[in-house]
Amino acid sequence: MPKMTFIQPDGKRLEVDAPVGLSVLEIAHKHGVDIEGACEGSLACSTCHVIIDPAWYGRLPAAKPDEEDMLDLAFGLTKTSRLGCQLIMTPDLDGLTVALPTATRNMMG
């Protein structure tokens, strides 16, 4: 089974099983990683914002315009920011590393 690593805001690393077909958001929730996902993956918020390790960013499919629009609302946006709900695990992403931002901005609450 593919693996992925979450880097917590405090720098701690957590390597987890990452089942193919699940989103990064779903994988995070499955393993108790503190990532909000207020809209439950419906692409209506930016609370599942993750920062992709630069070594992995170019391997991901390009963000669609709707994702880019939501990312504009994310706290701490970087050049390698993506929404976890839009990143679906594939065998090619085995080893993916993402960092959680230090805060999120929930426009839904």
pLDDT (tens, 9 = 90+) of the chain, 109 residues, equals 999 999 999 999 999 999 999 999 999 999 999 998 899 888 999 999 999 999 999 999 999 999 999 999 888 899 999 999 999 999 999 999 999 998 655 554 4
Query: What is this structure's pTM?
Result: 0.91
Q: Where do the domains of the chain lie, and which CATH numbers do they carry?
A: 3-99 (3.10.20.30)
Q: Give CA torsion, residues 54, 70, 27, 93, to 10 deg.
A: -40
